[in-house]
Amino acid sequence: MSVHPSAVIAAGAVVPASCNVGPFCTIGPDVVLGEDCTLISHVVLDGRTRIGARNTFHPFCAIGIAPQDLKYGGEPTALEIGDGNTIRENVTISRGTAGGGGVTRLGSNCLLMAGAHIGHDSQVGSHCILANCATLAGHVIIEDFATVGAFCPVHQHCIVGKYAFIGGGTIVTQDVLPFSLTSSKRENKAFGINKIGLARRGFSPERLQVLQKAFRLLLAAKLNTTQALEKVKELEGEDAALLAAFIERSERGVIK
């Protein structure tokens, strides 16, 4: 194990020999690190935090800290992090609260850029990107392959669907449709599918064509959401079915 002399590792912490712990890092007594993790410097890992393998933590990030919730009374809540994540400077991730399920989760292979925040009890999937200063309030769900742009605040209990791309500076107060390109000029709007991002993820022209039809029904046809939803259900393929199911289970409404 490579541990800088200025680092402080509490008794009880689990730090495998394959990990590198840089200067002025602190690791709390209930932290469990996976293999091959790197703490560059000035990293704080706290609380009942379980971290997978091959994660990199950049300077001044604070991971597993107490939730920013006035109702929190020191209950033994947790944070779970998967494998292969890159967590950049000044990122903060709060552990859960007793009233919100008790666990905040981050999946695998995510990039959290400088200043991003994941609030208590939020659930972030895998292959997600949170750009600089993207801010998730408590109880937010970010599904796999979604991108939240720079300086985007996401309201409590909102869901961002799979493969969605949210433009920088968008204030998210409703659920964001899967596959969508959603951004804000004067008001939040979905502008269609995230065509470039989906193509980069290997979506075939046929899948993109079905999604374009679905979004035309939702955004451009003179139909209300209920009417458009029935038409979307008639389209073939799992992507249209996923989109329809997302809309049906939305409690806050969706950004159209």
How would residue 159 be classed by pLDDT, with cut points 50, 70 and 90? Answer: very high
Distances (CA, A) of 175 to 80, 123, 155: 24, 14, 9
Specify whether 120 is catalytic. Answer: yes
Tens-place pLDDT, residues 63-100: 999 999 999 999 999 999 999 999 999 999 999 999 99
> Which of these, 96, 155, 107, lies nearest to 129 by C-alpha position?
107
Q: Which of 30, 121, 175, 239 is catalytic?
A: 121
What is the domain range of residue 14? 2-142
Phi, psi of 58 (to 5 degrees): -90, 170
pLDDT exceeds cutoff 90 at 215: yes
* Residue 135 and residue 9 share a domain: yes
Specify whether 138 is catalytic. Answer: yes
Please state, in angstroms and rounded to a whole number, the distance separating the CA atoms of residues 59 and 256: 38
Tens-place pLDDT, residues 31-63: 999 999 999 999 999 999 999 999 999 999 999
Say what percent of the chain tops pLDDT 70: 98
Domain edge (last residue) among 109, 142, 175: 142
* Residue 204 and residue 133 share a domain: no
Is the residue at 172 inside a domain? no
Specify whether 69 is catalytic. Answer: no
Please state, in angstroms and rounded to a whole number, the distance separating the CA atoms of residues 202 and 65: 37
Q: How many domains does the chain divide into?
A: 2
Please state, in angstroms and rounded to a whole number, the distance separating the CA atoms of residues 76 and 188: 38
What CATH number corresponds to the domain at position 218? Answer: 1.20.1180.10
pLDDT exceeds cutoff 90 at 220: no
* Residue 134 and residue 230 share a domain: no
Is 32 strand, coil or helix?
strand
Q: Which of 42, 58, 117, 120 is catalytic?
A: 120
Q: Which of 34, 82, 119, 138 is catalytic?
A: 138
